[in-house]
Structure 1
Amino acid sequence: MSMRFSVLAMAGVLAVGSIQAEVYRWVDERGKVHFSDQPKSGGAQRLELSEPEPSPGGINQQQLDAERRIQQERMLDAYREEREARAQQRQQAAAEERQRSQNCAYARNRLREYGNARLYQPLEDGGRRYLDNAERQREIERAEAAVQRWCDS
């Protein structure tokens, strides 16, 4: 059985080569060109046909696919970098907001203390020098400016 199958397979392979059709070209009395698989008596010319060359389109398509992948990777890298930059900006803005909030709380506390107490400057010998009304008013104005700067922006 296997011998029979082998013989049939070999015959089929050999037959494929012989099945390849021949093409003939000729011109009739009216000048019209004809193509056929059987030669016309007289001036029929046999045409040699070969396997078509692989189209360069396949190569170009592979090249286009590779370029497209490279472009997609570049775009993904750019998007990733942009996301990372935005995340870093958000973190920086959050840190600045925390610092501003702390500075605001400190400035409000100082202003409240300046309004309720007598202000003094410590001396090198450990004593205190109390501020007069004009100096005290200047310190309160500076504290109000700090509150305005850190809390009202």
Structure 2
Amino acid sequence: MKIHRHLFAALGLFSALVASMPHAEVYRWVDENGKTHYSDKKPKTEAEDITQAIKKQNIDTSIEEQRKLQDIFRPENEADREYHRQQQLKNQPTPEDIQHCNNLRHYLNKIDGRVQFIDEDGKAVPVTEKQRQQRVEEVQGYLAEHCN
């Protein structure tokens, strides 16, 4: 029974302390010169209690905003790093690609200017200058697009 009395006494003391604590009230009033004043103490003149109106403005949302930013700008993890490595590997030419580009550059040098085309049987193939120039442009376009 003694424990209950001490518990009730402690609760009563705590309630009295909370009740005696000042509430954060804000008042607004206009003086005789038309100047608006704000105070946390109620003035002797008539004043409007604007506590409820400004409570919404005093909420700290910075932690919530930081969480949103962390979701967007989260630190890079190992899966992200592996993905970027794979992307870089895809963009790097293989040895076969490099050899193909070198062969095309060599071919382009051969067909530059006056040239005679030979087929697989070793016979001369008649090619007009317009056709030769078209082949040059095709090879140059391919090299520009696929071979840096």
Q: TM-score normalised to the size of structure 1?
A: 0.39
Structure ID, larger Rg? 1
TM-score under structure 2 length normalisation:
0.40
